[in-house]
A and B are shown apart, each in its own frame.
Chain A
Amino acid sequence: MRPRLDALLRTTTFRLALVQAGVVLAFVVAMLVYVYFATVGQLIRDSNVLADQEYATLERAYAEGGMRRLNQEVVERAARQGPFLYVLAESNGVVVTGDFQQLPAAPRETPERVDFSFERVDENGEPVRGRASGRVGRLINGPILLVARDLGDSAIIAGRITQVLWTVAIVGLIVSIVSGLLAATQAARRAEALSNTAREVMAGDMTRRAPVRGVGDEFDELAEAMNAMLDRLERLMNTTRTAGDAIAHDLRSPLTRFKQKIENALDAPPDTDADREALRKAVDEADRLLNMFSAVLKLARVETASNWRLQRVDASEILRELAEFYEPAAEEQGLTLRAQVQDGLVVRGEHGLFTQAVSNLIENALKYTPSGGNVEVRALRRPDGRIEIDVLDDGPGVPPAERDRVLERFVRLETARSTPGVGLGLSLVAAVARLHQGGLHLRDGLSNGDKTGLGAALVLPAAA
C-alpha cells in the first residue's frame, strides 16, 4: 500500500488536487476577511459613530454645567439601561459613577478609541459578558469620561457568521482534498493500466492492448494512439517474420536454376556458344535475384524509414507521362491503354515513389490482361478532396476473397505463377500508399463479357 501511496503523492494529478485545495483555502480566507469587515467591522464603526456623538453631547453638558451636570447626565443615562455604557472618573482614575467600577483603559490627554470586553450583572442578577466599543478621554480640568456601545447581539451574529465561514472553509478544504485524491487515484489507475500494457508488450505479448473505456477522455485518446502504434508494430513484426520465410522460400528456385545452369555448363563438353548462352542465362537469374533483393530492400525502406521528404507532386503530369510511356508496350501486346486524367491533381508525396507505385499498377494490369483487352488509367479529385488514381483492366481479375491477400508481400496467386515477377509489386504500392497517408484498394475493374477485371484504386491526400 505504502509504495502506491508514495507513487500517488508524486503524481501530477495529486499535485493539481493540492493546488486546487490551496486555491479553495485562499478564497475562503479572503471571503472570511471580507465578510468579517463587512459585518462585524461595520457594526463596530457604526457603534463608534454613535458613541462619539454621545461623548460629544456629554462633553457639551460638562462645558455648560460643570462636573455636577455631567455627573447627573451620566447617572441618568446609565440608569436607562440603553445600549450605551458610561464611566465617569476623577482625574486620578477613581470612578465616580457609571456602569463599571473600573476603567477598562487609562486615558491619555486626547480622547481615544477603546474596544473592550466586560462583564456586568443584568436586571435579573445574571452576569452578562459582552463586548463594547467607544471612546475614552480626559475632559478639561481632569475628569475622565468613557462612552461605549455594547455590541451585544451584533457581536453574537458576527461571531456566528465567522464560525460558519470557518466551518465552510474547513469542509471545503477537506472536500477538495478528498475529491482531488479520488481523481488522482482514478487517473493513476488508468495510467497504471497503460504502463501495464506497455510492460506486457515488452515482455513479449504483442497482442496486448490498452483498455479503452469509451468515454473519449484524454486517457482514451492516449490508449487509442498506443493501440494504433502497437497494431502497426505488430504488423511490421509479422511482415518481417513472414517476409524472412518468404524470401528464403522464393530464393530457392532462382538459386537452384542458377546453380543448375552453371553445373550443366561445367558438365557438358566445352562448347563456346553453348557455354556463353548458359552463362548469359545464369547472369539473367542473378539479375532476377538482385532485383528481388532490391525490391525487398526498397519495400523495407518505404515501410520503416521516416526520412522521406513529401512535397507537392503533379500527379496529372506524371500519370499522363506514364500512360504515354507504356502506351507503345501495351499496343505491342495487343492491348488498348487509355488515360482519363483530370487537370491539376497535386498530391503530397515523394516523386520517385509515387511514379513507381503507379507504374507498378500499370505494369500489373498490362501483365495480366490478355491480348485484345483494355487498360484504363483514371485520376480524379474525389468529393472528399482526396485524389483517386484508378488502374482498371478487363483481364481475369482477382476473386474478392483474395484481394486483401495479394497485397501481402510475396503472395502470388496460382494463376500468376507462370508470369515473371516476385509478388512485391502490389505490396510496394500498398506501402507507398500508407507512407502517403492513403490507401490501395482492389475492386472490380472493367467488365469483359460475363467476367470482370481488376481495378486498383490508389487514394492519396491532395497537397495543401
Chain B
Amino acid sequence: MRVLLVEDDLDMAESLKASLAADSHEVDHAGDGELGESMALNGAYDVIVLDRMLPKKQGVSIVRDLRGKGVSTPVLILSALHDEDHRIEGLNAGANDYLGKPFSTRELLARVRSLWHGRDLGPATRLQVGDLEMDLLARTVKRDGKKLDLQPREFRLLEYLMRHAGQTVTRKMLLENVWDYHFDPQTNVIDVHISRLRSKIDRDFAQTLLHTVRGSGYRLEG
C-alpha cells in the first residue's frame, strides 16, 4: 500500500522509510508540515504517518484541515507528546491512531497495517476467522459450531484480534484498545490474558488460530 510519511527528523525518516519499504509498502516522504499536507491532498495514499511536531505546520492542524477538506485517509500520529490530553486532541482532530515516541518499528508497522485493514470493516455484526465465529449482537462465540464461554473482557480481546485477523497485534495495541491503559506493565500480564483466551479457543481443536509473533505480539489467523 502507499504510505505518506511526514517526519522532519531525517535519520528517523530514513529508517522508517526502509522499514515500511521492507514491509512491502510504497513510501513517499515529506520533511515539513506544509509539504506533507499538500502531498496528502494531491496523492492517493492508503495511510498517512504524521509526526506531531513539524516545521511550518503542526501535525494536529494538518489532520484537522485534511478532515475538513474531506480527506478520509487513515492517519497515524507519531509524537513524543502522548499524555491523555495530547492523544485526545490528536484523535479529536481526526487521527485514527496515536503512537507515542519512543516506539518500536514493529509496533508502527503493526499499526499501519491495522489502520489500512480495519478501515473498511464497518459496523459488522458477525466476525469470522477460520471456523471461529463471533456474533456481536448475541455476544456469542462459536468454534466449529461449538459454543465457547468467554468472560466479557476476553470477548473484547478476541473481538479486537478478530477485527485485525491476519495482522500482528502488539501488546501495546491490546493494552490501549482493549483496556484503554496507556502505561507499560512491567509484568507479563497481557501474555497471561492471551494464554487464557488461547486455552479457550484453541485447546480442544487441532488447528491453532492464535499465534505468538516472537518479539512483537500476537496474530489471529484462520
Contact = CB atoms under 8 A, between A and B. Distances in A.
Interface in B74-130: 83-85, 102, 104
A294 B183 CA distance: 10
Contacts, number: 52
A418 B100 CA distance: 30
Interface stretch (A141-149, A238-246, A320-328): A320-328
A280 interface: yes
B215 A280 contact: yes
A359 interface: yes
A355 B83 CA distance: 13
Nearest to B153: A324
B102 A290 contact: yes
A315 to B, nearest CB: 16
Contact of B187 (A280, A290, A352, A367): A367
A77 to B, nearest CB: 103
Interface residues of A, number: 29
Interface stretch (B4-12, B29-37, B132-140, B189-197): B189-197
Given A280-B215, A324-B153, A352-B83, A363 B193 contact: no
A328 B184 CA distance: 17
Contacts of A234: none
Interface residues of B, number: 20
Given A280-B215, A294-B102, A328-B192, A352 B186 contact: no
A350 B88 CA distance: 14
Interface string B146-162: 00000001000000000
Contact of B183 (A321, A355, A366): A355
Contacts of B183: 352, 355-356, 359
Interface in B151-193: 153, 179, 181-189, 192-193
Interface in A317-371: 321, 324-326, 328-329, 331-332, 350-352, 355-356, 359, 363, 366-367
Contacts of A294: 102, 184
A369 to B, nearest CB: 12
Nearest to B186: A363
A42 B215 CA distance: 109
A351 B189 contact: no
Contacts of B102: 290, 293-294
Contacts of B215: 280, 283
A291 B183 CA distance: 10
Contacts of B181: 325, 355, 359
A287 interface: yes
Contacts of B186: 363, 367, 420-421, 425
A309 interface: yes
Nearest to B178: A325
What does DSSP make chain B's interface, helix, strand, loop or mixed?
loop
Nearest to B100: A294
A188 B181 CA distance: 55
Contacts of A356: 182-183
B192 A352 contact: no
Contacts of A324: 153
A328 B195 CA distance: 10
B196 A363 contact: no
B157 to A, nearest CB: 11
Contacts of A331: 192
Instruction: Say whether chain A's binding surface is mostly helix, strand, loop, or mixed.
Output: helix
Contact of A328 (B179, B182, B193): B193
Given A290-B102, A324-B153, A329 B85 contact: no
A420 B187 CA distance: 9
Given A350-B84, A352-B182, A328 B187 contact: no
A332 B193 CA distance: 10
B192 A332 contact: yes
Nearest to B189: A329
Nearest to B196: A328
A291 B184 contact: yes
A367 B186 CA distance: 9
A15 to B, nearest CB: 47
B125 to A, nearest CB: 26
Contacts of B179: 321, 325
Contacts of B185: 359, 363
Interface in A275-312: 280, 283, 287, 290-291, 293-294, 301, 309
A359 B181 CA distance: 10
Contacts of A351: 84
Given A351-B84, A352-B183, A355-B181, A329 B196 contact: no
Contacts of B85: 309
A337 to B, nearest CB: 11
B212 to A, nearest CB: 14
Interface in B191-222: 192-193, 196, 215
Nearest to A332: B192
Contacts of A283: 104, 215
Given A283-B215, A325-B179, A363 B104 contact: no
With a 10 A CB-CB cut-off, give which of B84, B179, B187 has the most chain A CB atoms: B187
A241 B104 CA distance: 31
B84 A352 contact: yes
Contacts of B193: 325, 328
A63 to B, nearest CB: 106
Interface of A: 280, 283, 287, 290-291, 293-294, 301, 309, 321, 324-326, 328-329, 331-332, 350-352, 355-356, 359, 363, 366-367, 420-421, 425
Given A294-B102, A328-B196, A425-B186, 8 more contacts: A280-B215, A283-B104, A301-B83, A324-B153, A352-B84, A352-B183, A359-B181, A421-B186
30 contacts: A283-B104, A290-B102, A294-B102, A294-B184, A309-B85, A321-B179, A324-B153, A325-B179, A325-B181, A325-B193, A326-B189, A328-B189, A328-B192, A328-B193, A329-B188, A331-B192, A332-B188, A351-B84, A352-B83, A352-B182, A355-B183, A356-B183, A359-B183, A359-B185, A363-B185, A363-B187, A366-B187, A367-B186, A420-B186, A425-B186
- Sorted from nearest, which 6 A-B pairs have the closest CB atoms? A329-B189, A356-B183, A328-B192, A352-B84, A290-B102, A329-B192
